[in-house]
Amino acid sequence: MKAEILPLIYVFGIIIGFAMLSSLFLPTSITSVITLAFAIWFYFVLPGYCLLLFLDMKPHERIIIGTAVSAAVVPVVLYTLDIFGIPLSRLTVLITILVICGGACMLKSRL
């Protein structure tokens, strides 16, 4: 399990590093830059990584492909929820991402 979490921490560190580097050149506060970096990691990296836990891949491959999978799956799920009449808000997006990640991790632990 530790080997599966470590690449996520590395990617989060890389995103934070780029965000800090951009804060040197842009007139933004550090807290808003860190918030944006966490949002990018939480929206683009985490769900795809969790969905690809079933496949036999190396961790760096899982992160690269998982980012594209996450960028495709999360908007489709949110669009479907919107069609069913559930209004989109920050809470809806948060719950959707947590359900995707939690469900994938629970299924992985069962297998």
pLDDT tens readout for residues 29-47: 888 888 989 999 999 999 9
What is the Cα–Cα distance from 43 to 32, expressed in whole angstroms? 16
Domain ranges across the chain:
2-110
Q: Is the pLDDT of residue 20 over 70?
A: yes
Tokens of 71: 């960028």
Please give the model's pTM, rounded to 2 decimal places.
0.81
CA proximity to 3, closest of 53, 51, 43, 47: 53
Find the radius of gyration of the CA atoms of the chain. 15
CB 54 within 8 A of CB 108: yes
Q: What confidence tens digit (pLDDT) does each residue in 55-76 have?
A: 888 888 999 999 999 999 999 9
**Rounded-to-integer distance, Cα 19 and Cα 34, Å:** 7
- Could you give the CA distance from residue 51 to residue 94 in angstroms, rounded to a whole number? 16
